[in-house]
Structure 1
Amino acid sequence: MKILLVYPLIREFMVPSMPPLGLAYIAASLKEAGHEIKVVDLNGDRGNGLSYLTKLLSNESFGMIGVSSIITQYKRVKELGELIKSIVPHTPLILGGPGPTSIPELYLKNCSADIVCMGEGEEAVKEIADYIQNKMPLELCKGIIFKKQDGSYVNTGKRSQIKDINTIKFPAWEMFYTIKVYLENYLFKHGRKKGMSILSTRGCPGECNYCMCNFGRMLRMRTAENIFSEIEALVRKYDIEHIHFIDDTFITTVKRVREISDFFKHEFRSLTWSANVRVNFIKPDVLKIMADSNCVSLAYGIESGSPTVLDYMKKGFTAVQASNAIKWTREAGISMTTYFMIGMPCETKETVRETIDFCKQNLVGGEFFFVTPIPGAELYEYAKENKIINDEDVYMEHVGEVRDFLVNLTNMSNEELFAIKENAELEIKEHLGRHNITVKQSVRKNPRELVHSLPKF
């Protein structure tokens, strides 16, 4: 069956820099099943992608169309669904990815979709294609919600997760004519010419209340051999120079870190690499192993220096553990990025002061992201229960980047929250400047203007 896969526009204010990994996995899975696949990447091909898509829809016949997206692409998915159905109203439209998984009914209702795939899609999408091709009842396919002819919805229930993720086919980047754009503009390439994302684990045992935990709480790991087979292919095909592990939980055991580091050290000495890491999984000996194998940077989601806020977030670590991780990372000679947010319901001037002091003492930070409730997270339910979010469709249309301000969950006024954020950033930046540390400014709008232009949800 001929299948069309589409990736919507995202972060139009910057060059395409994060390849659509999820859709590449789906393309590989469908290709393995024998289907004829075409991919249109509207984010990577911003000049001609839309006209190319329109031409394909008008001139070719597809058995089904799939769109993969994250939460911040909701508005684009709505627009894309309307366009697709205006040209091919009877072709089944399937939505998947973290966005539709987080709030499937809303996507089914508002995005012109026929089917929403919930959770991991590699196995489910093959079944969906078979059911459509062979005209079998969709009720038999687990892990989807679909719209019947009478307009009613059918939820087939949760699908079992893929237990052995080593069996999953590597992402089919050869099907993306836009791949060069992503490699050369990769967000985390750390000064190298070409970089690429690798997902070495799925799932996260953390319980952070602001995270939807897309792959569930059960941690599943790929073997070092499987990971490096993928890296070998990327080096051979695209001559990449940097790998970034986008896992929620990269460090699982010392043994696994040692195996992965040994591969970099002995087989790919010319490559540099980086990873997202939890501070409570960090130890000096582990960092030394990583540094010796060309690990050049780690990203820590510390979020707050206040014990009160960390406990509220259910981060699972303390400010002391975070300080130790920062200290040990510096001692290992690895650079780091630290992320902080402001605006949890328990946030006060006092808790912000604790975070300021933490950043100054540890010489990190400099910019705060606003807390944004996202579907699938405990914090999102809190916002709905407290009537902070009333119209989910309108809210989702406005969910954008982490630097944007959408809702105020605190007891402070909007003006107070903005003033505290600005003053905190200024104080930290001035302190870091005295230690010759420069903080990049990435705010895209005047924060003061945002206070008076917030939409009603």
Structure 2
Amino acid sequence: MKVLLVYPPIFRVVGLASTPLPIGMLQVGQWLKNEGHQVEALNLEIGGEIRTSSIARMRQAYAETDLPATLADPRAPWRQEMRIKIESFRPDILAFSCATEQMDAAALLVEDAREILPGIRIELGGSHVEPNDWVRRIGREALMLDPALDLLSGQNPPSSFGAVLTSLGCPFDCTFCGSPKRYGRKLVNYPIEQVRSRVMAAKEAGAPYIHLMDDTVTIQKQRAIELADLMAEIGLPWRTQTRVDDLCRNPQLAAYFRDAGCSQLTFGVESGSPNILKATRKKITREQVLQAVDILNDAGVPYTANFMIGFPNETDDDVEQTLDLMDQMRPSRVLAGSVVPYPHTELHDAFPDFTDAARRWPLCQWSPFDPRFLRDDNGGRIQGPSVAALNRFFEYIDCINNHAPTPGTFSTVS
């Protein structure tokens, strides 16, 4: 059979340049190819023009776009690209990989496809949906395969092919994360030679650096050392994620990673409030965050800290505690967004009023970067901190990322 794999747009719809590598979709593509199917892929997220890493600029792009109306425009380039592909390839199966925000675009693409091929079979996968038996079986088997990077050759830029997964699963159970339900809480490492194969394939595809995508790279010290040794051997610069408690437990990893070519580490803090950290089961403390920052600074490793705002039980005082922690950290860079009660997370199920309120918005607005999502008639966050606290939070982050004076404890960020 002929199968067309499609990654629908969302950043592109608001004009933002984005170059995602849908690894899971490409693993499914490899499985289908192994089974003898004719497979092609279409990454419709490629094509936005606003190139920025600024949280403020991303939020502005969302605020300036009427998402439902923009999606509904049949003249949109991404919808035209889909029609052209359907006409030329004439697939038997159209399979989507969708996060929550992409579901509205996928629904419109299904309508467009059925205008051309009324009998086409539709399959949905990705983090939003509950997969059917066919998708679940393929996904389970495909997860052990290397992604078929060739399916997006000529669509994705070479820099995007550096995204590499080295493991599956996560032993933690943060309330805002859907990974435990999707992949389980058992950590399964890919064999180191399979990781080597993936990194070499990325290098051969033209990737100038490697991004080890796992949140769990540093959980097991010996495994972390093996990965660092592999990256040093291959010789490309690389970056990855860590946890602050991993660094506190094994501080020598920071310098080891630096010497192996690691150019940046990213870790989640989420909040500076002990109450919020406890409620989300993040299983870290403020003290551990500051200890990890000292370790990275001593080793000379740049880092990015991730934060979230807008938990349904979060107060303005919780936000102030987060800003106070930022003051003490003086991070190199901050990534942040508003909390979204995504399906398959405990947050989605544990706060039904919060989730019911979220359903007033179309799925395309279920984004951490859409400033209109979950706002009441006065612009405040439903079941969360005030408008003033939200604005202050994002103002802080904008100042930190621009190395500008902040309206807080310290006047400059070094």
TM range (shorter): 0.7 to 0.9
Indicate how the Cα distance of structure 1 residues 397 and 5 shifts in structure 2: closer, same or farther if over 3 A, else same. Answer: same
1:225 is aligned, of 185, 193, 202, to 193
**Number of aligned residue pairs:** 369
Q: 2:16 corresponds to which letter in structure 1?
A: M
- Corresponding residue number in structure 2 for 1:418: 390
Matched, 1:96 2:110: no
Matched, 1:330 2:303: no
The RMSD of aligned alpha carbons is: 2.8
Query: Who wins on radius of gyration, i.e. which is larger?
Result: 1
Whole-angstrom distance in 1 between the partners of 2:213 and 2:306: 15
Displacement of 1:32 after TM fit? 1.0
Matched, 1:79 2:108: yes
2:243 is aligned, of 278, 291, 294, to 278
Equivalent position SS for 1:276: strand
Deviations 1:294-317 (A, max 9, x none): 011011110111111100111011
Could you state the TM-score of these two structures normalised by the residue count of structure 1?
0.73
Indicate how the Cα distance of structure 1 residues 241 and 422 shifts in structure 2: closer, same or farther if over 3 A, else same. Answer: closer
Indicate how the Cα distance of structure 1 residues 379 and 293 shifts in structure 2: closer, same or farther if over 3 A, else same. Answer: same
Indicate how the Cα distance of structure 1 residues 367 and 299 shifts in structure 2: closer, same or farther if over 3 A, else same. Answer: closer
- Corresponding residue number in structure 2 for 1:430: 405
Equivalent position SS for 1:386: helix
- Corresponding residue number in structure 1 for 2:55: none
Matched, 1:55 2:31: no
Contact 2:6 2:44 in 1 (8 A): yes
Displacement of 1:50 after TM fit? 4.0
Displacement of 1:412 after TM fit? 4.5
Q: Whose RCO is larger (CA < 8 A, sep 6+)?
A: 2
Displacement of 1:44 after TM fit? 2.6
2:320 is aligned, of 335, 350, 353, to 353
- Corresponding residue number in structure 2 for 1:455: none
Structure 2 unaligned spans of 5+: 49-75, 375-380
- Corresponding residue number in structure 2 for 1:124: 138
Whole-angstrom distance in 1 between the partners of 2:298 and 2:276: 28
Contact 1:25 1:169 in 2 (8 A): yes
Could you state the TM-score of these two structures normalised by the residue count of structure 2?
0.80
Displacement of 1:278 after TM fit? 1.5
- Corresponding residue number in structure 1 for 2:2: 2
Matched, 1:320 2:334: no
Contact 1:200 1:247 in 2 (8 A): yes
- Corresponding residue number in structure 1 for 2:350: 382
Matched, 1:197 2:138: no
Matched, 1:245 2:227: no
Structure 1 runs of 4+ aligned residues shifted over 6 Å read none
Q: 1:210 corresponds to which letter in structure 2?
A: F
- 1:235-314 to 2 correspondences below 5 Å: 235-236=203-204, 238-265=205-232, 267-269=233-235, 271-282=236-247, 283-314=250-281
Displacement of 1:420 after TM fit? 4.3
Indicate how the Cα distance of structure 1 residues 406 and 393 shifts in structure 2: closer, same or farther if over 3 A, else same. Answer: closer
Indicate how the Cα distance of structure 1 residues 405 and 53 shifts in structure 2: closer, same or farther if over 3 A, else same. Answer: closer
Whole-angstrom distance in 2 between the partners of 1:426 and 1:43: 26
Q: 2:192 corresponds to which letter in structure 1?
A: A
Contact 1:40 1:49 in 2 (8 A): no
Contact 2:354 2:383 in 1 (8 A): no
